[in-house]
Amino acid sequence: MSRSAFISRRDGRYLFRARLPACLSPKSGSAFRISLRTADYKTAKLRAARIASWMLSVKVAEDPESALLALWPRLQALAVEPVCGEEDRVDRAAFQGVAFEAQYRVRLGGRKPDQLVPGWDEHFVALVRENSRANNEREKSSTVLSRIEEKRALYAAVASPAPPPTGHAAPAAPDFRPPAAAAASVDRYTRRTMSEVLKEFLDAR
- Give the model confidence (pLDDT) of 112-154 as tens digits: 999 999 999 999 999 999 999 999 998 888 776 666 766 776 7
Of 63, 44, 41, give the one whose Cα is nearest residue 52.
44
- For residue 201, being part of any structural domain is answered with no
Range picked from 108-112, 141-145, 166-170, 181-185 for highest mean pLDDT: 108-112
Q: Label residue 159 by pLDDT band (50, 70, 90).
A: confident
- For residue 16, being part of any structural domain is answered with yes
The pLDDT of residue 175 is above 70: no
Q: How many domains does the chain have?
A: 1
- For residue 174, being part of any structural domain is answered with no
15 pairs with which residues across the strands?
A: 8, 35
Q: What sign for the dihedral angle of Cα 87, 89, 90, 92? A: positive
What does the alpha-carbon distance between residue 54 and residue 73 come to, in Å, rounded to a whole number?
10
- For residue 185, being part of any structural domain is answered with no
What does the alpha-carbon distance between residue 65 and residue 57 come to, in Å, rounded to a whole number?
13
What does the alpha-carbon distance between residue 183 and residue 168 come to, in Å, rounded to a whole number?
34
- For residue 181, being part of any structural domain is answered with no
pLDDT for residue 156: 74
Of 156, 166, 107, 98, give the one whose Cα is nearest residue 127.
98
What residue numbers bound the domain in which 74 lies?
Answer: 3-154
What does the alpha-carbon distance between residue 26 and residue 101 come to, in Å, rounded to a whole number?
10
Instruction: Give whole-number Cα distances, 27 to 21, 22, 23, 118, in Å.
Output: 10, 7, 9, 29
- For residue 111, being part of any structural domain is answered with yes
Of 64, 76, 53, give the one whose Cα is nearest residue 21.
64
